[in-house]
Amino acid sequence: MEILFFNSGEAQQNFDSDNLAQVKVQEIPLFNVEKLAKATNNFHLSNKLGQGGFGPVYRGTLLDGQEVAVKRLSKASGQGLQEFMNEVVVISKLQHRNLVRLLGCCVEGE
């Protein structure tokens, strides 16, 4: 599976405004939107697990067989890239038995 890191390529160009937050997310892998779409059968309704405050959550299976939950940001959420990345940083730092571990994020596509 191809995994990119947040401090490379196009994502870096979109997030240069906050160097502190950028440093915090350098260790978080970036997933390719096509691979997430394939894992969730193109975000098919039958794979929808629920609806969060910022968008729906889908069940998926990565190419290596790992089961994942993919939260897709809703256009209507009003959340921008800065708010999204702040949420990613917070979630990546949280550890609780009732929370899943954050594997990465995707900042491309719609």
Per-domain residue ranges for the chain?
Answer: 3-93
Portion of the chain with pLDDT greater than 70, in percent: 75
Cross-strand bridge partners of residue 60? 68
Tell me yes or no: is domain 3-93 CATH 3.40.30.10: no
The answer on pLDDT for 50 being more than 70 is yes
- Asked if 63 contacts 47 with a C-beta cutoff of 8 angstroms, the reply is no
Give the highest mean pLDDT range of 32-36, 42-46, 77-81.
42-46
CB atoms within 10 A of CB 103: 15
Q: Over pLDDT 90: what percentage of the chain?
A: 30
Q: Produce one character per residue of 24-43: b if its CB has 16 or more CB atoms within 10 Å, e if not.
A: bbeebbbbeeebbbebbeee
Q: Look at 32 and 85; give whichever has higher pLDDT.
A: 32
Q: Is the overall model pTM greater than 0.75, yes or no?
A: no
